[in-house]
Amino acid sequence: MTISPLQKERLKYIPKLPGMLRNGIAEIGVKKGEETCSVADQEKIKALFPNTYGKKEITFEKGQNTSPAKKQVVGVILSGGQAPGGHNVVCGLYDALKAIDKENELYGFKGGPSGLLEDDYLIFDDEYIDQFRNTGGFDIIGSGRTKLETEEQFAVAAKVCKKHGITAIVIIGGDDSNTNAAVLAEYFAAHNTGVQVIGCPKTIDGDLKNEDIECSFGFDTATKTYSELIGNIERDANSAKKYWHFIKVMGRSASHVALECALETQPNICLISEEVAEKKMSLQQIASYIADAVEKRAAEGLNFGVAIIPEGVVEFVPEFSALIKEINELLAGSKADEFNSLATWEEKYAFIEKGLSKEAMAVFEVLPQAIQQQLFMERDPHGNVQVSLIESEKLFSAMVKAELDKRKTAGTYKGNFSALHHFFGYEGRCAFPSNFDADYCYSLGYNAAMLIQYGYNGYLSKISNLSKPAEEWVAGGMPITKMMNMERRHGEDKPVIRKALVELDGKPFKYFEANRDTWAVNTCYLYPGAIQYYGPDEVCNLTTRTLALEKQ
Ligand code: FBP
């Protein structure tokens, strides 16, 4: 097989482990910390997790390895969206298992959690795994979004584990997948299966973080990749001086990705969904806010700019969420067929006008027609509007244009506004992991093997002190139940890991807030360039600005 020169070099890269895991397996001891309790709803979570709740947090340290000798047969699953570094989690896990005992085995369940249920797997060996070291993607075994959440699924999983003599399952996933890992761990413990479950924090969205987990893996590489592209666009904008670029960046719900890209590139505008919700901003208010910057720059002869739009922003606009709710009701059940049987958009529009409340219609009316039609076309299998597919970068640029047209008529705006649109998401999810993600992920996997060896169940592999060089990183484990609270999901109260949204009183947002007015009007672009894998520390071992600011 032909591989690129970079891939060839990256296969040789030796990921850095935390100092405490570098001493050889025989010298890794455990330091037990305090007993834990969940972040909220302690009594309810305790009742739901009687076997796995309240366990102690642990840290590994240089010392005597006291784990009992036991052959391990481990199964690993990649769950959800791709994130750079996933392959290294598997490599770290494999290397540690083999270092503990050459007879240990690692099964990879294919295509996500469904691989476990369907007993679809491969068994890793050196030759296979060596092709994937330090590479992006999840193609080593594939990923999927099947949720492991029902008793029936758990029973099937237990049966598959028994068949292969599996002693532990490692689930590499986001907040939902790790919530399910905790429920599976509880099931396995309650049914005395002897199978442990360990989670690893993955997602480019960066929303699986808390006082224990400093960041999820993949966020570093994905945001560096988007920032490179945004910086290149900024330089193009500043060269041609004729376009406003509206750039949507991934992040299903939280705006961590948008905020990090803004900190790295200093664009003219970056919306933060959490702030939009806090201030209860309407679509028109957002459009006016952007139009103000366009107008001010035009007054200086700067008819160009860059605006970053977080993928999930429209769901945070209260009036828009209310509109979506009404549309979902309007088309519930057989009413969808009635709507679909209407031949023309005019007839459909009349149907919508009749069905929506006055308030919802007022929001609907101001949307560009393409977006109006999208709201009625892109439905999920339950018939609901798929908000994530809405082209919000186009929505806002069209609304800004309409606002500027009004200002032109009023004589306050005299510039030219020409918009281009981009969506950066899939471009960054499978990039070669940065050195940070390569090291972090390898460490998470290696550490997961140590947690298994020491018999822990329902723990998240935890590597902290990440803003420091890898030598000073701290390896250990945290009971997943510690991160849980009760939330309303699909009409039911469920125990879940709390999703971390952007904190408006946190240092990264505060830094952005203090600078954004200057960035809006002046041209302060930063050009981060491509991820560097080789060279001086200052360019190839940088963490994210978010992490650096949080740890200041
Ligand atoms: P995870 O939460 O599973 O890591 O996925 C995050 C994400 O990349 C979001 O940023 C994006 O909205 C979504 O996945 C896209 O999902 P899909 O890959 O199914 O198109």
Structure tokens at 269: 């505008």
pLDDT range class, residue 289, cuts 50, 70, 90: very high
**Res. 186: pLDDT tops 90:** yes
- Reported as a single tens digit per residue, the pLDDT across 28-65 is 999 999 999 999 999 999 999 999 999 999 999 999 99
What is the tens place of the pLDDT at every residue in 456-494? 999 999 999 999 999 999 999 999 999 999 998 777 889
Gap between the Cα atoms of 308 and 278, Å rounded? 19
Cα-based angle 189, 190, 191 (whole degrees, multiple of 5): 90
Q: For residue 246, count other CB atoms closer than 10 A to its CB.
A: 26
- Name the superfamily (CATH) of residues 224-314+368-373+385-428+506-550: Phosphofructokinase domain (3.40.50.460)
Query: What is the C-alpha to C-alpha distance for residues 492 and 44, in angstroms, rounded to an integer?
Result: 14
Mean pLDDT, rounded, for 177-206 = 97
- From 204, 424, 427, 496, the mutation candidate for ligand 1 (largest count of ligand atoms within 8 A of CB) is 204
**Cβ-based neighbours of 302, under 8 Å, separated by 6 or more:** 241, 523
CA 252 – ligand 1 centroid, Å:
6
Given the candidates 3.40.50.450, 3.90.380.10, 1.10.10.10, 3.40.50.360, the CATH classification of the domain at 68-218+433-489 is 3.40.50.450
Instruction: Find the mean pLDDT for residues 5-10.
Output: 96
- State whether the beta carbon of 499 lies less than 6 angstroms from ligand 1: no
For the stretch 335-344, pLDDT in tens is 888 998 999 9
Q: What pLDDT does 331 receive?
A: 86
Q: Is the confidence at residue 3, as pLDDT, over 80?
A: yes
Atom of ligand 1 nearest to the CA of 83: 4
Best mutation site among 208, 252, 311, 424 for ligand 1 pocket (most ligand atoms within 8 Å of CB) = 252
Cβ of 207 closer than 6 Å to ligand 1, yes or no, is: no
Contact at 8 Å (CB) between 400 and 294? yes
Q: Ligand 1: which atom is nearest the Cα of residue 175?
A: 2
- Non-local (6+) Cβ contacts of 3 within 8 A are 11
pLDDT tens-digit series, residues 380-415: 766 677 777 889 999 999 999 999 999 999 999 999
Q: Which atom of ligand 1 is nearest to the CA of 79?
A: 3
The pLDDT score that the predictor gives to residue 491 is 73
- 230/123 Cα distance (integer angstroms): 41
- Is there a shared CATH topology between the 68-218+433-489 domain and the 224-314+368-373+385-428+506-550 domain? yes
426 burial type by CB count under 10 A (0-12 exposed, 13-18 middle, 19+ buried) = exposed
Mean pLDDT of the chain: 95
Say whether 292 is catalytic: no
Name residue, tokens 């590489």.
221
Residue nearest ligand 1's atom 19 by CA: 81
Under the banding of pLDDT at 50, 70 and 90, the label for residue 546 is very high
pLDDT at 378: 67
DSSP annotation of 369 reads: H
What pLDDT score does 492 carry? Answer: 82
Cβ-based neighbours of 115, under 8 Å, separated by 6 or more: 77, 108, 109, 121, 141, 142, 144
d(CA 452, CA 412): 66
The pLDDT of 529-547, averaged and rounded, is: 95
Q: Is 312 in the pocket of ligand 1 (CB under 6 A)?
A: no
| Res. 188 pLDDT band, cuts 50 70 90 | very high
Closest ligand 1 atom, residue 426 Cα: 8
pLDDT digit string, tens, across residues 85-121: 999 999 999 999 999 999 999 999 999 999 999 999 9
For 409, the token pair is 């008529």
Statement: residue 328 has pLDDT above 90: no
Is the model more confident about 288 or about 376? Answer: 288
Backbone φ and ψ of 493, nearest 5°: -80, 125
In contact, 85 and 437? CB cutoff 8 Å: yes
| Average pLDDT value for residue range 195-200 | 98
Which residue is closest in CA terms to ligand 1's atom 11? 252
Residue nearest to atom 6 of ligand 1 (CA): 81
Single out the catalytic residue among 176, 205, 220, 439: 205
Question: Residue 468 gets which letter from DSSP?
Answer: S
Q: Where are the domains of the chain?
A: 68-218+433-489, 224-314+368-373+385-428+506-550
